[in-house]
């Protein structure tokens, strides 16, 4: 096994997704706020 393949096996790929430090409540709140605002917009414009 070469040095490159040995480090590739043990290295964890970081893709910019959520970290392992638990849920970020500000992101959850912002996401649900967006959902509610979008639902209100759809209902007010009569698209649904």
SS (H, E, C) 1-48: CCHHHHHHHHCCCCCCCCCCCCCCHHHHHHHHHHHHHHHHHHHHHCCC
Residue 35 has pLDDT above 90, yes or no: yes
- Measured CA to CA, the distance from residue 42 to residue 36 in angstroms comes to 10
Percent of the chain with pLDDT over 70: 62
**Over the stretch 6-26, which tens digit does the pLDDT of each residue have?**
555 566 777 776 666 666 888
Dig out the tokens for 35 from the structure: 């959902």
CA 34 centroid distance within chain? 14
The pLDDT, as a whole number, for residue 33 is: 97
Distance CA 29, CA 25 (A): 6
């Amino acid at each position: 096994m070469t040095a490159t393949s040995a480090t590739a096996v043990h290295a964890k790929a970081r893709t910019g997704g959520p970290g392992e430090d638990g849920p970020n409540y500000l992101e959850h709140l912002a996401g649900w706020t967006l959902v509610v605002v979008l639902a209100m917009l759809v209902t007010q414009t009569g698209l649904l």
